Structure 1
Amino acid sequence: MISASNFRPRAYSYVRWSTVVQGSGDSDRRQVKMAVDYAEKHGLDLVPEHMIRDEGLSGFTGKNVTEGALGQFIKAVEDQKIPKGSYLLVESFDRLSRQSVDTALMLFLKIIGHDIIIVTLSDQAEYRQPVDVTKLMMSIVYMHRAYDESAMKRLRGAATWKGKRLNIQRRKLTSLCPAWLTLSEDRASFAANPERVFVVRRVFDLSLGGQGAFAIARKLNKEAVPTFGRSAAWGTSSIKKLLKNRAVIGEYQPCRKSRDARQRTPEGDPVLDYFPPIVPTDVFNANQATLERRRNKAGRRGKAFSNLFSGLAVCGDCGSKMHFLNKGRKGGKSLVCESSQKGVCERNQGWRYDHFERSFLSFVNEVDFDSILDGGTISRIEIIEGELLQLQTERRAIETKRNKLLENFEDDEVSKDVVRTRMTIHNEALARNAADVGRLTTERNDILDRRRATAGAQFAGFPAEISEDELYDLRAKVADQISNVVLEIEMLKWPVLVQWGDGEDKIVQRFESKYVVRFKGGARRLVIPDQAKPEDAFVVLNLDFPESDGSDLPRANRSPWHSSVTRKELR
């Protein structure tokens, strides 16, 4: 144990403020000067390292004790690293705590219980062991006043904010707004910045065209497009935030600051048409579906968007992902089983990438190539995918409200009649949500069926004479369209015997590879390509389609198609 008997008593100055405004003003200087003056007057040892600061931590929540420097000081006292008889200098009680009296009093008694002397500099009062009853009574009064003042400020602030929300359509809540808007002088409307609005719309178009945040940022930086903030260059995080910002469709989500003012949590429902919308809702929703599909496929795609099947192709033997491998001019490009590279999977040694891409694009006519070649026009499938994702988000929100209602009922916070009424509303909303999901799913499947029946929808190949950037954009769009309609591609690389015909006309042929495309909606397609000419195939068999009899893969060897049949006839 450290004794202070042979030294000048140590003094520790505790300084705290709750907001940035207070910290940038006179609060810090004033509190420090009062501590220095007191230490000089009473012969205390106050050194710079004895200055304890909690900047921007609220005493009302107690974060200055649980997370801040005051808590660290108390821990040092308990560990006897602070000499007994030391002084803790504070401007007033409200600097230590603004919590309820019982909590603040326990903190106060804990400190002086370890023989630390608390001094409130505003009135020069000292509090030490043994506790003076009169001073203790006064300290309780001060604690109650500090708590009451903070609670009243919070209530008044909440009431003022609620009044502003009620008047939200006539007068905007705050001057804070998206970077492409400016609040008018009468605070009644927002004015759009045409140049920035153009950039926002272009970012959404590029994203919907299949380009990820990295590629979009690189493109904007290459073209020297000015950013919306202090940063000198566009980054992936700013692009992602922009693409997820519902302010582009006019929504404003009121938020409530956490007690420590570090976090903002949504409060109430979003306010529609608060901002002038600059992106169509269907485009925004389609982009959210695109972002969701890309969530596990982040990363650079090479100069020409090398792999159209990232995140979709898997090994048909072990289920591992098929990785894109580029061994240069000599080794070529291939799709290789991840487990095969580790020596675990022995039956899938890899596919030549160019062969597989040509075959896939020849026999998967569900991909909307027309919209790609028309310059990236948003397709109905993309709109449906976006609406389905939005419905999924809405369903989760309704279920959360319903669960919270049940919890409040169990805690006796709401009456049975209120629960019954609100549960009926939530259940009806869920039923409407399910009906909309069913309607959109049926529409998506009908579109895919119509595309399957359209022989002219085949992809003729990528244009040869276009720039590197144009090729990247086009391949990105194709990859995105594939993700719109395909769930998974099983790639199988081992010998399979296929036979057709009977008697003397019977033909049996050995093939080294095949793949199965699983579409959204449940249908599958088996393709056994011609290894010499991938855009042709020996077998193309639809499985689990509405007109199918439920046949499985073994029926492939009874396919009536011969290698001499043209691609168009196969489809």
Structure 2
Amino acid sequence: MFAKDTSKKIKATWQSKGRSGEHLCTLPPYGYMKDPEDKKRWIVDEEAAAIVQKIFSLCVDGLGPTQIAKWLQQNEVLNPIAYFLLKGLPTNGKPPANPYKWTAKTNSGILERVEYLGHTVNFKTSKPSFKSKKTVWNNPSEWVIFENTQEPVIEESVFLIVQNIRQGRRRPTKMGDMGMFSGLVYCADCGGKMYLCRANHFKPEQEYYICSTYRKDRTLCKTHSIRRV
């Protein structure tokens, strides 16, 4: 009973703190750091923020999380944990065997973080009970967001473009790259996605987008091919 009562008090304090606009996460995300003069405040870590901005830029240019990871590794960019350790910043991670190895999961997490808009996002996770050590993700509708609590790392227009791209689940072609408008162009008649068609012998001006519905069944829609120029 004592443990349960203590848990309720801790939860009440945590709820009060979160609803007052204080950051609930102990460590700022990659791209931010705690203000030396005010530990409750986040400030931009310019060096790491530049990498976050590059990751968003690469996504806008057509690279997916896995391709971005390859680009970062090829360019010998320290992954977040290696960077934190090098700079003497707190981290929950262990020293990586390869400090330049990035993962698609890490990049996906970065591309989805609302905090980069300069907002505080609380109650993203919770625990089923005071006895449980398991952490579960809450529905975004349950998140509490306080806007403009710190300097943004990513412009809202860029963030929204990236979210639209990721919702479209763009995938690389067999040639290893991705069309700039892949996942963003839809057929005006049936609403189906327009797929990029290309070949090794095609010149750039010969590449074109075609209705995915028509490609599956020519009786359901018309060609609606659009030249990629």
With normalisation by structure 2, the TM-score equals 0.66
- On the 8 A contact 1:215/1:300 being kept in 2, the answer is no
* 1:263 aligned onto 2:131: no
Q: Which runs of 4+ in 1 moved over 6 A?
A: 306-312, 322-325
| SS of equivalent residue, structure 1 residue 253 | strand
* 1:162 aligned onto 2:15: yes
Aligned residue identity for 2:166: L
CA distance in 2, matches of 1:323, 1:282: 25
With normalisation by structure 1, the TM-score equals 0.29
Higher-RCO chain (CA-CA 8 Å, sequence separation at least 6): 2
Q: CA deviation at 1:257?
A: 2.5
Distance verdict in 2 for CA 1:263–1:299, change over 3 Å: farther
| SS of equivalent residue, structure 2 residue 224 | strand
After TM superposition, list the pairs within 5 Å mapping 1:458-473 onto structure 2.
none
Larger mean CA deviation between 227-236 and 240-249 belongs to 227-236
Q: Report the counterpart of residue 338 of structure 1 in structure 2.
A: none
Q: Could you tell me which of 220, 223, 227 is aligned with 2:72?
A: 220
Aligned residue identity for 2:148: D
| SS of equivalent residue, structure 2 residue 223 | strand
Q: Report the counterpart of residue 224 of structure 2 in structure 1.
A: 517
| SS of equivalent residue, structure 1 residue 258 | coil
Q: Which ranges in structure 1 are unaligned for 5 or more consecutive residues?
A: 1-147, 313-321, 326-332, 335-352, 362-481, 493-514, 519-524, 528-534, 536-571
Q: CA deviation at 1:176?
A: 2.1
Q: Could you tell me which of 191, 195, 198 is aligned with 2:43?
A: 191
Q: CA deviation at 1:300?
A: 6.6
Aligned residue identity for 1:490: Y
| SS of equivalent residue, structure 2 residue 121 | coil
CA distance in 2, matches of 1:174, 1:516: 51
**CA-based RMSD:** 3.9
CA distance in 2, matches of 1:306, 1:166: 42
- On the 8 A contact 2:111/2:162 being kept in 1, the answer is yes
Q: CA deviation at 1:489?
A: 7.1
| SS of equivalent residue, structure 1 residue 190 | strand
CA distance in 1, matches of 2:178, 2:205: 13
Which protein shows a greater Rg?
Answer: 1
Q: Report the counterpart of residue 26 of structure 2 in structure 1.
A: 175
CA distance in 2, matches of 1:172, 1:310: 37
After TM superposition, list the pairs within 5 Å mapping 1:100-499 onto structure 2.
148-168=1-21, 172-185=23-36, 186-229=38-81, 230-231=95-96, 232=99, 233-255=101-123, 256-259=126-129, 260-266=132-138, 267-293=142-168, 295=169, 297-299=170-172, 301-302=174-175, 305=177, 333=199, 354=202, 358-359=205-206, 488=212, 490=214
CA distance in 1, matches of 2:111, 2:160: 10
Aligned residue identity for 1:257: K
Aligned residue identity for 1:263: T
Q: How high is the sequence identity, in percent, across the aligned residues?
A: 16
Q: Deviations over 1:16-56 (max 9, x none)?
A: xxxxxxxxxxxxxxxxxxxxxxxxxxxxxxxxxxxxxxxxx
Corresponding residue pairs, total: 193
Q: CA deviation at 1:273?
A: 2.4
| SS of equivalent residue, structure 1 residue 187 | strand
| SS of equivalent residue, structure 1 residue 516 | coil
- On the 8 A contact 1:164/1:173 being kept in 2, the answer is yes
